[in-house]
Chain A
Amino acid sequence: MAQSDMHQQRRGRNYALGAFLLALVVIFFVVTIVKMKGAG
């Protein structure tokens, strides 16, 4: 596998992991707000 291909696929994976972690942060934030309002 060419170096550039490898970097491209690794970058794709890193973006996916970053998006997942960001989603977790958003989920925890929003659920906290909902629970603080007493709706959860």
Chain B
Amino acid sequence: MTDIGLQRETAPFGAVAAGEPAAGDYIALLKPRVMSLVVFTALVGIVVAPGQIHPLIGAVALFFIALGAGASGALNMWWDADIDARMARTASRPVPQGRIAPREALGFGLALAVCAVACLGLLVNLAAAALLAFTIFFYAVIYTIWLKRRTPQNIVIGGAAGAFPPMIGWAAVTGDIGWGAIALFAVIFLWTPPHFWALSLVKAGEYARAGVPMLPVVAGPEETRRQILLYSWILVPATFAPLLAGVGGTAYLAAAGALGVVFLVLAHALHRTSTDRAAMRLFGFSILYLFLLFAVLLGEALVAQL
């Protein structure tokens, strides 16, 4: 048995919930905010993919992709309940609060995962369903169970889970994975490390107390800022990759260029000043950055279809 297994058995929240969980507690298990980002990026994948999909089938695909993301969230909360209880940001979640028993969160997550993958396969196509199944597996097993507590590279590799949704959306339309889907994947994959490391610089104390080996905890803030800068310089050129794959046009080119400059300025500012304020500015802007890049792709694709 691993150390983690021992920690889990002695966790204070036990195996039985204190009371009857409300419907809202189950919704919290789905991580609605993460789900909204998944839905948005998957929508962009659907809209920019070459080919046609009936709007209703597209909406159904989005619904089950969202459900699959929710399943991943529930499985993550089941496994991470002990560390969630030790961090202010996550202590109010239903499992560490004892409102939902860990076993119930596990059952809920597995049921939703099976439902989402099966329905996506039956109603949309098998390629999208297979990618959704792999994404849930990657997030719940590879990231949450395997990497998160073992290596400071946890979010670098685990970031792939968050990068799959536009690829699933693309596959829902085309039935396969094109270069455009891979380019969108790369953008989110490379965006994840500077995004999360900026936050973890500020929350390093909490991660240390929870025993999560985030980069600032293991390698220190200076090395983290250096890595943020390095990844930012890889990310910004990578945001032009969709153009090479035929995704996006002039507006996207301008947005990727202008937003990329701001991203790099903020990353350099963080590297120089090393304040929490600079870290939170980069963290906040990184959310806007990804949203705007994908919004411009979405807008251009919708205008082109008029």
Contacts and interface: CB of A to CB of B under 8 A. Distances in A.
B19 interface: yes
Interface string B91-116: 00000000000000000000000010
B179 to A, nearest CB: 25
Interface in A1-40: 1, 5-6, 9-10, 12-13, 15-16, 24, 27-28, 30-31, 34, 39-40
Contact of A30 (B18, B19, B56, B115): B56
Contacts of A6: 19-20
- Main secondary structure on chain A at its contact with chain B? helix
B21 A9 contact: yes
B254 interface: no
Size bracket, chain B contacts? 10 to 19
- Main secondary structure on chain B at its contact with chain A? helix
B285 interface: no
B23 interface: yes
B23 A16 contact: yes
Interface string B25-42: 010000000000000000
B123 A28 contact: yes
Nearest to A16: B23
Given A27-B123, A28-B123, A10 B20 contact: yes
Contacts of B60: 27, 31
B66 to A, nearest CB: 12
Contacts of A13: 20-23, 26
Contacts of A5: 19-20
A40 B19 contact: no
B22 A12 contact: yes
Nearest to B54: A39
Contact of B22 (A9, A27, A28, A31): A9
Given A9-B19, A9-B20, A10-B20, 8 more contacts: A6-B20, A13-B22, A15-B23, A16-B23, A16-B26, A24-B115, A31-B57, A31-B60
Q: Which 5 pairs of residues, A with B, have the shortest CB-CB distance?
A: A9-B20, A1-B19, A16-B23, A39-B54, A6-B20
Interface of B: 18-23, 26, 54, 56-57, 60, 63, 115, 119, 123
23 contacts: A5-B19, A5-B20, A9-B21, A10-B20, A12-B23, A13-B22, A13-B23, A13-B26, A15-B23, A16-B23, A16-B26, A24-B119, A27-B60, A27-B63, A27-B119, A27-B123, A30-B56, A31-B57, A31-B60, A31-B123, A34-B54, A39-B54, A40-B54
